[in-house]
Amino acid sequence: MQSYTIGQAARLLGVSPDTARRWADAGRVATHRDDSGRRLIDGRDLAAFSVEVAQSGAVEDASYTSARNAFPGIVTAVKLGDVAAQVEIQAGPHRLVSLLTREAVEELGLEVGMQATARVKSTSVHIDRT
């Protein structure tokens, strides 16, 4: 069974490590220590807890949308063409690239260094085992 550190769990839950640590301290999710003393959460426990957190609304989403796959991050590049534009966002370990209209980029005021959230909605999702 795979186990996760508090930091890894926080990234998967979409919260800060401090929040994940507080939840563990409060007993909301069970932890154990490895041989080096790090606190770990069993994968099955984390999976169940992540569903609980999502259903309880403990992690608030700032907007209302049908696209559930949100990647908050920082804009790292904006390339403007005459009609189209390309925006890159670094969201944790994920680099997302979006092609959209120049008008949309200008209306949103997207610039390198600002916070933005990439939302993904797809009819096909592939899952790889790590």
pLDDT interval class at 58 (50, 70, 90): low
C-alpha 29/C-alpha 22 separation (Å) is 10
* Token output for 68: 């559930």
C-alpha 105/C-alpha 100 separation (Å) is 7
More confident residue, 22 or 113: 22
Q: Check the CA dihedral 53-58-75-105 and report its sign.
A: positive
Helix axes of 6-13 and 43-56: crossing angle, nearest 10 degrees: 40
Mean predicted lDDT score pLDDT of the chain: 85
Using the 8-state DSSP alphabet, how is residue 33 labeled? Answer: E
More confident residue, 50 or 125: 50
C-alpha 77/C-alpha 55 separation (Å) is 34
The pLDDT value given to residue 62:
46
* Token output for 36: 């080096």
**Residue 43: strand, helix, or coil:** helix
Task: State yes or no: pLDDT of 60 exceeds 90.
Answer: no
Predicted TM-score (pTM) of this structure: 0.50
